[in-house]
Structure 1
């Protein structure tokens, strides 16, 4: 995953523009960053007084909580479900979730449903 530029580099670019009188393009060329990056850093510095990077990534809270979680557990225990069907049913209840979110939820809760196909009922040949 990409990492933000160091604070030292950010400070040097801002200092070159502010104290040395360079343009953002000249400072970017001097320190080997893209001109658009130097421009964004200067905009941030003028707006907030800081060039510290924003948060990258982070935890995204699960959407299948509360009443939706309880409903989904009961629905899975009733049997006869598919993951795509559960996604559609949740959308019908006003909650848009991804197939993978439902798969992770079902897996974490230990709620799997295996259809009893004809081949598995007859036993080994």
Structure 2
């Protein structure tokens, strides 16, 4: 996992835009970061009042399927079904969504 930019660097970039009048494109070129990153930081500041990085969360702590042998057998039996149909047949509550944003 990539290391987040430092807090003081984030503050310098945002200060350059908000106080020094840099355009996002100019700040992007000057600090060698993408405009998308700047947009995300500005959005975070608007939502939370700060540009602090979100805490790292190790992957794998919220799996809804924990018995992988049971899941393999289930998938082998119901492999001809769609993801939505399989989610409806599964014993516990799992998402039938393919996109991360609908979790």
TM norm. shorter chain > 0.5: yes
Give the 3 Å change call, closer, same or farther, for CA 64–29 of structure 1 in structure 2.
closer
Following TM superposition, the consecutive aligned residue runs of length 4 or more in structure 1 with deviations greater than 4 angstroms are 61-65
TM-score (norm 2): 0.59
Where do 5+ consecutive residues of structure 1 fail to align? 66-71, 73-82, 98-125
Match of 2:81 in 1: none
Instruction: Decide whether aligned partners of structure 1 residues 43 and 62 sit closer, same or farther in structure 2, where only a CA change above 3 A counts.
Output: closer
- The structure that is helix-richer by fraction is 1
For 1:94, the equivalent position in structure 2 comes to 91
Unpaired segments of 5 or more residues in structure 2?
Answer: 75-85, 95-103
Number of equivalenced pairs? 79
Q: What residue is the counterpart of 1:32 in the other structure?
A: 32
2:40 paired with 1:43: no
TM-score, normalised to structure 1's length?
0.50
- Offset of 1:64 from its aligned partner? 6.6
> Which has the higher relative contact order, 1 or 2, with Cα contacts under 8 A spaced 6 or more apart?
2
Query: Counterparts of 1:6 and 1:39 in 2: how far apart (Å)?
Result: 16
1:19 aligns with 2:19: yes
The aligned counterpart of 1:57 is 57
Looking at CA atoms only, which structure, 1 or 2, has the larger radius of gyration? 1
Cα RMSD for the two superposed structures: 2.9
